[in-house]
């Protein structure tokens, strides 16, 4: 942290500030420029009360040199984190494909998708049992029944299950029956939910909030990790911009940027990023090229009849084609 002092400050006041800072184990290095005096604060600056400093009549501004996230920061953990889920690993060179319908709708629907996705090599089945819909009148998901059906699909196919949690009261059930708990864009800053997820050891997919900066997103990961759960996978799913032709704007730059600042695995969701099924393949390829650790794609046996997100869902055939292309790109079968 750097403090830029106001001009023409009395020496006595500067020394007083330095003494206060040093009394809380912070080393202060002072530099006198032509116009400004700068104080570089070295050490654990978490105890520094920024409000008090800014309110003092000698500090002009505070500049942060360190990112506020620690656990998620590559600086303190240079190796890539890998998250073990069943016999699969996400991150560290493995490529994970999570496919399935937006919502679990019926036994026939989820089993049909599960069988087909498995044939094309995927190891993870996604399906929403609780749906965070924009309208309260839209299909809200099958709830517990949806989780029962996902469990059935797992028993038959061995696929690992990914499903979105909406609130803390669902946690016990998710820990029992789901392999990766998904936190959706709308809940990225539901801090009480994040803290609870930090107290279990289940892997968590943390989707980027619709208008979240990368730092806010990493701070949300920090909430989970600070409670003890280090099994966090980030998911770029598009952000809201002024563009209306796509549902969201796929922020491809998030993939290398997150990898630069964090050691956590990052996957991409080109379905929610675009809202259009025919854009899923090119953006999935772009995500692979940018270094993503995996993909999450929506697949439905009959997208026209889907109860949610049909316009962005791949048919079983187009999913198979996508997987062939992705496997060619990564040079091996995706996990
Ligand atoms: C979903 O995965 O179905 C979903 C609701 O995603 P998001 O939270 O990214 O909108
Ligand atoms: Mn969806």
Question: From the CA of 58, how far away is ligand 2's center (Å)?
Answer: 52
- Spell out which residues line ligand 1, taking CB within 6 angstroms: 102, 128, 132, 164, 184-186, 207, 237, 272
Local structure of residue 23 (DSSP, 8 states): T
**β-bridge pairing 124-126 and 160-165:** parallel
Atom 6 (ligand 1) nearest CA: 184
CA of 309, closest atom in ligand 1: 3
Q: At what angle do helices 144-157 and 107-119 cross, to 10 degrees?
A: 40
Atom 9 (ligand 1) nearest CA: 185
Model pLDDT, residue 57: 87
User: Which residues contact residue 134 at a Cβ distance below 8 angstroms, ignoring those fewer than 6 apart?
Assistant: none
Question: From the CA of 240, how far away is ligand 1's center (Å)?
Answer: 13
- Residue range 83-334, CATH number: 3.20.20.70
Nearest C-alpha neighbor of 256 from the set 288, 232, 230, 213:
288
Nearest C-alpha neighbor of 70 from the set 268, 173, 287, 222:
222
User: Which residues contact residue 242 at a Cβ distance below 8 angstroms, ignoring those fewer than 6 apart?
Assistant: none
Question: Quick check: do 2-63 and 83-334 share a fold?
Answer: no
Q: What percent of the chain has pLDDT over 90?
A: 80
User: Which residues contact residue 212 at a Cβ distance below 8 angstroms, ignoring those fewer than 6 apart?
Assistant: 188, 189, 220, 239
Atom 8 (ligand 1) nearest CA: 184
Query: For every one of its 335 residues, what pLDDT tens digit does the chain have, with 9 covering 90 and above?
Result: 889 999 888 899 999 999 989 988 888 988 888 878 899 888 888 888 888 888 888 999 998 877 889 899 998 899 999 999 999 999 988 899 999 999 999 999 999 999 999 999 889 999 999 999 999 999 999 999 999 999 999 999 999 999 999 999 999 999 999 999 999 999 999 999 999 999 999 999 999 999 999 999 999 999 999 999 999 999 999 999 999 999 999 999 999 999 999 999 999 999 999 999 999 999 999 999 999 999 999 999 999 999 999 999 999 999 999 999 999 999 876 67
Alpha carbons 122 and 299: distance in angstroms, whole number? 12
Q: Are 236 and 268 in contact (CB under 8 A)?
A: yes
Alpha carbons 293 and 155: distance in angstroms, whole number? 26
User: Which residues contact residue 186 at a Cβ distance below 8 angstroms, ignoring those fewer than 6 apart?
Assistant: 132, 209, 210
Integer-rounded Cα Rg, in Å, for the chain is: 23
Write down the domain spans for the chain: 2-63, 83-334
Token readout for 202 is 């289940």
Place of tokens 């997208």: 303
Model pLDDT, residue 1: 87
Question: From the CA of 265, how far away is ligand 2's center (Å)?
Answer: 21
Atom 1 (ligand 1) nearest CA: 102
Q: Which mutation among 142, 184, 266, 271 tests ligand 1's pocket best, with the greatest number of atoms within 8 A of CB? A: 184
Alpha carbons 59 and 81: distance in angstroms, whole number? 40
CATH of 2-63, one of 2.40.50.100, 3.30.70.1140, 3.40.50.10800, 3.30.930.10: 3.30.70.1140
**Number of the ligand closest to the Cα of 209:** 1
Q: Which mutation among 126, 132, 251 tests ligand 1's pocket best, with the greatest number of atoms within 8 A of CB? A: 132
**Number of the ligand closest to the Cα of 184:** 1
Question: From the CA of 275, how far away is ligand 1's center (Å)?
Answer: 11
Alpha carbons 318 and 326: distance in angstroms, whole number? 12
Question: From the CA of 117, how far away is ligand 2's center (Å)?
Answer: 17
CA dihedral over 313, 318, 324, 328, signed as positive or negative: negative
CA of 186, closest atom in ligand 1: 8
Model pLDDT, residue 333: 67
State the chain's maximal CA–CA distance in angstroms: 78
Model pLDDT, residue 32: 84
pTM of the predicted protein model: 0.89
Token readout for 229 is 């759960």
Total number of residues shown for the chain = 335
- Tally Cβ neighbours within 10 Å of residue 260: 9
CA distances from 115 to 88, 119, 194, 323 (A): 18, 6, 32, 15
Q: Are 306 and 101 in contact (CB under 8 A)?
A: yes
**Number of the ligand closest to the Cα of 129:** 1
Q: Are 120 and 77 in contact (CB under 8 A)?
A: no
**Number of the ligand closest to the Cα of 162:** 1
Model pLDDT, residue 334: 66
Question: From the CA of 167, how far away is ligand 2's center (Å)?
Answer: 18
Question: From the CA of 271, how far away is ligand 2's center (Å)?
Answer: 8
Question: From the CA of 229, how far away is ligand 1's center (Å)?
Answer: 22
Q: Are 263 and 236 in contact (CB under 8 A)?
A: no
Helix (H) or strand (E) holding 55: helix 50-55
CA of 207, closest atom in ligand 1: 9
């Amino acid at each position: 942290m750097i403090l830029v002092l106001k001009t023409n400050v009395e020496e006595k006041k500067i020394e007083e500030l330095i003494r206060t800072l040093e009394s809380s184990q912070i080393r202060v290095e002072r530099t006198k420029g032509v116009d400004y005096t700068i104080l570089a604060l070295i050490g654990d600056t978490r105890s520094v009360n920024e409000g008090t400093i800014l309110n003092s009549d000698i500090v002009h501004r505070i500049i942060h040199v360190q990112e506020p996230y620690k656990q998620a920061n590559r600086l303190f953990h240079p190796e890539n984190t890998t998250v073990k889920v069943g016999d699969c690993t996400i991150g560290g060179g493995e490529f994970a494909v999570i496919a399935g319908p937006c919502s679990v709708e019926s036994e026939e629907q989820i089993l049909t998708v599960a069988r087909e996705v498995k044939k094309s090599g995927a190891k993870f089945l996604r399906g929403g049992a609780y749906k965070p819909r924009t309208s309260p009148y839209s299909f809200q998901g099958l709830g517990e029944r949806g989780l029962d059906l996902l469990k059935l699909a797992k028993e038959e196919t061995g696929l690992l299950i990914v499903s979105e949690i909406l609130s803390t009261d669902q946690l016990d059930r998710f820990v029992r029956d789901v392999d990766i708990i998904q936190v959706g864009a709308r809940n990225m800053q539901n801090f009480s939910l994040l803290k609870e997820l930090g107290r279990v050891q289940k892997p968590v997919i943390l989707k980027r909030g619709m208008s979240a900066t990368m730092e806010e997103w990493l701070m949300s990961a920090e909430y989970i990790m600070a409670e003890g759960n280090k099994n966090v996978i980030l998911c770029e799913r598009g952000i809201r911009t002024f563009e209306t032709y796509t549902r969201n704007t796929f922020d491809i730059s998030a993939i290398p940027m997150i990898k630069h600042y964090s050691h956590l695995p990052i996957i991409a969701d080109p379905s929610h990023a675009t809202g259009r099924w025919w854009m899923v393949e090119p953006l999935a390829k772009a995500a692979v090229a940018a270094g993503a650790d995996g993909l999450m794609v929506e697949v439905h046996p009959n997208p026209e009849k889907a109860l949610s997100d049909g316009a962005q869902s791949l048919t079983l055939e187009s999913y198979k084609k996508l997987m062939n292309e992705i496997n060619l790109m990564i040079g091996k079968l995706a996990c």
